[in-house]
Amino acid sequence: MRMRVATLALAAIGVLSASVAVSQDDVIAKRLELMKALGPSLKTVSQMLNGQSEFNADAAEQAMLKVADHGKQLPALFPEGSHVGTRASELIWSEFDQFTAIYADLEAAGRAGAEAAAANDVEGVRAALDAVGNACGSCHEKYRTAG
């Protein structure tokens, strides 16, 4: 009987461990998906600001709202220990307040860019895009490993 209980306990631990691993993988996949999805939004706005396409206030506003939304969502997708097999630095969790502050900056820059676009303020969108770039750059510089 004890052997059966022990076997069941080990099986339960195995299932729990597998479920934690799957959910960890899901979180990592989701954050990578969101980060990759930022690229087209930023490219759209950048091309408008660089004269490669005509400035479209509605498209710029939607792109910058997406940036703001991602800035809001991403910190929750970094549960402690989710650096394994990724380029996320372990430093994230020892400096989590500073790390999440960068995402707050990203969200604020996205919102500022959306507001500027809604007002057809091209220079305001440009300033917001620069702030987005600064947030992304400071995070990658400090909290992303070279591997």
Residues of the chain with pLDDT under 50: 2-22
- Residue 62's Cβ-side half-sphere holds a number of Cα atoms within 13 Å equal to 6
Question: Which pLDDT belongs to residue 25?
Answer: 75
* Per-residue DSSP letter, 78: -
Query: Chain-centre distance of CA 69, in angstroms?
Result: 9
Class of domain 26-143: mainly alpha
Do the beta carbons of residue 139 and residue 101 sit within 8 Å? Answer: no
pLDDT in tens, 82-94: 998 999 999 999 9
| CA angle, residues 84, 86, 87, in degrees to nearest 5 | 120
pLDDT in tens, 45-54: 999 999 999 9
Backbone angles phi, psi at 11, to 5 degrees: -65, -40
pTM, full prediction: 0.82
Question: Which pLDDT belongs to residue 21?
Answer: 41
Question: Which pLDDT belongs to residue 23?
Answer: 61
Give CA–CA dist 69/63, Å, rounded.
10
